[in-house]
């Protein structure tokens, strides 16, 4: 497999590892968008979160929970981001959670600033989405 994250997990590519569990690792992002930008990934290759087993998912987000306190100590606020699939902006097809320290003057904005505007939905479209997504 030619996955850069799998190569980090195997030790083939060096990384600044921060924490390791049975199923996940965290490390400094090699191309950070802010000082202290951390990635948390599962050790096994999966493209999307829904592809993880329950055990892998739990382990991944427990490590996210552990690391966010450390990252949050840098500026006091942290952005969590997951691009879940290529069309969502995922550049490396291996699940990864970004933990990015944020500050008022960092030039990044709220999630709504990533998009041109809000989507206008009719009541029937909202009802259809509600029916499709509710559990």
Residue numbers annotated as active site:
96
Name 19's bridge partners. Answer: 26
3-state secondary structure the chain: CCCHHHHHHHCCCCCCEEEECCCEEEEECCCCCCCCCEEEEECCCCCCHHHCCHHHHHHHHHHHHHHHHHHHHHHCEEEEECCCCHHHCCCCCCCCEEEEEECCCCCCCCHHHHCCCCCCCCHHHHHHHHHHHCC
């Amino acid at each position: 497999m030619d996955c850069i994250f799998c190569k980090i997990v195997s030790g083939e590519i060096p990384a600044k590892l921060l924490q390791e569990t049975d199923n996940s690792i965290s490390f400094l992002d090699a191309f950070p968008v802010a000082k202290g930008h951390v990635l948390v990934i599962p050790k096994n290759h999966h493209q999307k979160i829904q592809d993880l087993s329950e055990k892998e998912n739990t382990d991944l987000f427990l490590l996210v929970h552990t690391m966010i306190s450390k990252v949050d100590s840098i500026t006091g606020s942290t952005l969590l981001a997951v691009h879940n699939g290529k069309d969502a902006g995922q550049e490396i097809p291996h699940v990864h959670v970004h933990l990015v320290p944020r500050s008022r003057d960092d030039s990044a904005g709220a999630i709504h600033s990533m998009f041109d505007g809000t989507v206008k939905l009719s009541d029937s479209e909202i009802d259809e989405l509600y029916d499709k997504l509710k559990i």
